[in-house]
């Protein structure tokens, strides 16, 4: 049996007719920049996220960057960011001229440790960007309390968690604003690059709408940073029918995760945590194991696709060397980076596929424990 790491085709087959007619509608009108399809997707996504407003942009990185700019951070202002995340979270701060300051994660949760924020605080700290990593919401109550106490802006990086809930609240409705990537492989993915941000703050909406469109509110009135970060109209048209499928597909992911947890209980690998106050959306199914690289090879030899999120922590990336971080600064993130393995996870994954992956993981674990005995 072959199990791919990700299968987008089954999802797209389900909505092929709506997708093609949405594309055809845009092409027949030949109005490709902003317009009613972008507005319709924005209002659908705001309602879905239980936020007042949504603004469509060209990718997740610029969603985060535009939010920080809209809150008037100054060059050199500091943004607290979990050490375990995709590099784009930190890049959003760097591109705005701000300084990412990393914070280690809680062991086995992969999420920013709110108890470690105090030590990272300086007089220049202006914002926190918690990341809802792998589909699991960050611990927002203590993060919001800390932000209120120190007058910080909270920007959720919800790129991996469209539809997840923290104590009943949708991600994207908890902080001051949230950025979502709509990269094809995300839980809600476009057919190319796209992104969206949510907020209850009208002022952020006004500024971001200007900045994404050459800084203009009126044509040729360039009162804001003149960027081009518009969401493509054709993507906005396709995303509308896709958004209507998201809750169902997230439910299917939950079922897949349930099968994994049932099968792998007691197998020796570290399983993801599932606290009851969180409604996760399982963007990824991440385990930890001592012999990660060997297990990954073994799964590959048996036709199973896997990935590592992320093999090199952001603070140790060559491009951020000048920031002066070194090995040992964030021991939990660094130790887990050698142990993490993302198993196949997608809505249409079958019970047979999950059973095959788990049997293969368990076979590897058994061989390995025999060698050690
Ligand atoms: C995908 C992702 C991004 C960036 O999204 P793009 O749309 O590729 O720019 C940012 N943060 C996290 C956590 C992501 O997973």
Centre of ligand 1 from the C-alpha of residue 309, in Å: 12
Q: What per-residue confidence (pLDDT) applies to 195? A: 98
Mean pLDDT of 124-145: 98
Distance CA 215, CA 70 (A): 12
Domain boundaries, the chain: 9-240, 246-372
DSSP string for residues in 243-259:
HHHHHHHHHHHHHHHHH
Average pLDDT, the chain: 96
Mean pLDDT of 168-195: 98
Region 1-24: what's the mean pLDDT? 97
Candidate from 59, 82, 84, 88 with most ligand 1 atoms within 8 A of CB, to mutate: 88
- Alpha-carbon span 232 to 191, nearest angstrom: 10
pLDDT digits (tens, 9 = 90+) for 22-42: 999 999 999 999 999 999 999
Q: What is the pLDDT of residue 369?
A: 78
246-372 topology per CATH: 3.90.1150
pLDDT-derived band at 371 (thresholds 50, 70, 90) equals low
DSSP 8-state secondary structure symbol assigned to residue 5: S
Number of other CB atoms surrounding residue 101 within 10 Å = 21
Question: How confident is the model over 255-292, as pLDDT tens digits?
Answer: 999 999 999 999 999 999 989 999 999 999 999 999 99
Is residue 139's pLDDT more than 80?
A: yes
Span 163-178, pLDDT tens digits: 999 999 999 999 999 9
Pocket test for ligand 1, best of 159, 196, 342 (most atoms within 8 A of CB): 159
Topology at the third CATH level for domain 9-240: 3.40.640
Ligand 1 centre and the CA of 98: distance in Å?
Answer: 18
Closest ligand 1 atom, residue 182 Cα = 7
Query: Which tokens is 168 given?
Result: 């009943």
355 pLDDT more than 90: yes
What is the reported pLDDT for 219? 82
pTM of the model: 0.97
Yes or no: say if 176 and 199 are a contact pair by the CB < 8 Å rule. yes
The fraction of the chain above a pLDDT of 70, given in percent, is 99
């Amino acid at each position: 049996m072959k199990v791919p790491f990700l299968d987008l085709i089954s999802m797209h087959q389900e909505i092929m007719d709506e997708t093609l007619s949405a594309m055809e509608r845009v092409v027949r009108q030949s109005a490709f920049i902003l317009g009613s399809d972008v507005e319709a997707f924005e209002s659908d996504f705001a309602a879905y996220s239980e936020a007042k407003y949504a603004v469509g942009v060209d990718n997740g990185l610029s969603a985060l960057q535009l939010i920080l700019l809209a809150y008037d951070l100054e060059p050199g202002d500091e943004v607290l960011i979990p050490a375990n995340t995709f590099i784009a979270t930190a890049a959003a701060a760097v591109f705005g001229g701000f300084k990412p300051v990393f914070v280690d994660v809680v062991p086995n949760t992969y999420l920013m440790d709110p108890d470690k924020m105090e030590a990272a605080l300086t007089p220049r700290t202006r914002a926190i960007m918690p990341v809802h990593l792998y589909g699991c919401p960050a611990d927002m109550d203590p993060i919001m309390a800390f932000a209120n106490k120190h007058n910080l802006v909270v920007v959720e990086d919800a790129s991996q968690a469209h539809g997840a809930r923290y104590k009943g609240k949708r991600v994207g409705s908890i902080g001051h604003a949230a950025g979502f990537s709509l990269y094809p492989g995300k839980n809600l993915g476009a057919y190319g690059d796209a992104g969206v941000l949510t907020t209850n703050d009208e002022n952020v909406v006004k500024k971001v709408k200007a900045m994404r469109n050459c800084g203009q509110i009126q044509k040729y009135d360039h009162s804001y940073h003149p960027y081009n970060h518009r969401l493509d109209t054709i993507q906005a048209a396709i995303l509308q029918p896709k958004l209507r499928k998201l809750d169902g597909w997230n439910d299917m992911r939950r079922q897949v995760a349930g099968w994994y947890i049932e099968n792998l209980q007691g197998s020796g690998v570290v399983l993801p945590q599932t606290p009851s106050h969180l409604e996760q959306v399982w963007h990824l199914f991440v385990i930890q194991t001592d012999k990660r690289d060997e297990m990954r090879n073994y799964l590959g030899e048996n036709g199973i696709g896997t990935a590592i999120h992320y093999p090199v922590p952001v603070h140790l990336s060559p491009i951020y060397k000048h920031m002066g971080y070194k090995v040992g600064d964030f021991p939990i993130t660094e130790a887990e980076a050698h142990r993490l393995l993302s198993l196949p996870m997608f809505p249409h994954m079958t019970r047979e596929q999950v059973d095959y992956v788990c049997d293969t993981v368990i076979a590897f674990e058994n061989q390995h424990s025999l060698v050690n005995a």
